[in-house]
Amino acid sequence: MPVLTPPPAPTQPAAAQPAAATQPLTVTSPPPTIQDKHLAYDMYRRDQLVRSVPRTRNALIGTSVSFGVGLALLIPVWAGDHCVSYDFGDSSNLECDTTGKVLTGIGAPLAWGGSLGMIVSGIMLGVRKGKIRRLDEKIMLTSDRKLKWDPSTSRMVF
């Protein structure tokens, strides 16, 4: 709440000053308290966390897609046999292709990295959302909750 302070004392006698040159009262606000500084920092920290949540959510979505693509490349390797047998009368020929090695070489790192990324970004997202929830509760409890008169609704409000 602003504090009204009287004007400084005149340095000249009152007779020497013109009557129209009266100095108005100056309005100054008290210095912020430690509680106000903590509340300002909590609000700043909350804003930072709110801005970082979408990035973490995007990381979770991106690593989930990476895991899905890696898994889609690995399923054919696990499901099928990549060898073909040809019978020519008395002899048979078994030919195997390298599709399994290629799909495993590409799919395994994608699935592995995607799964680790999902775990890490999921934990980060949960921690950040929890911090936001706790800061909201702290800000609500420490904010000014005095009973005031609201002239627009003609009733007392918090």
Digit-coded pLDDT (tens) for 113-142: 999 999 999 999 999 999 999 999 888 877
Q: Are 114 and 66 in contact (CB under 8 A)?
A: yes
Mean of all residue pLDDT scores within the chain: 81
Range of the domain at 96: 33-141
DSSP state of 156: E
Amino acid at the residue 8: P
Q: Give per-residue pLDDT as tens, 74-118.
A: 888 877 776 777 777 777 777 777 777 888 889 999 999 999 999
Is position 84 within any domain? yes
Q: Residue by residue, what is the 3-state secondary structure of 88-144?
A: ECCEEEEEECCHHHHHHHHHHHHHHHHHHHHHHHHHHHHHHHHHHHHHHHHHHHHCC
> How many domains, the chain?
1
Query: So what's the pLDDT on residue 19?
Result: 53
Is position 112 within any domain? yes
Entry pTM: 0.61
pLDDT at 35 over 80: no
Is position 4 within any domain? no
Query: So what's the pLDDT on residue 63?
Result: 97
Count Cβ atoms below 10 Å from residue 124 Cβ, excluding itself: 17
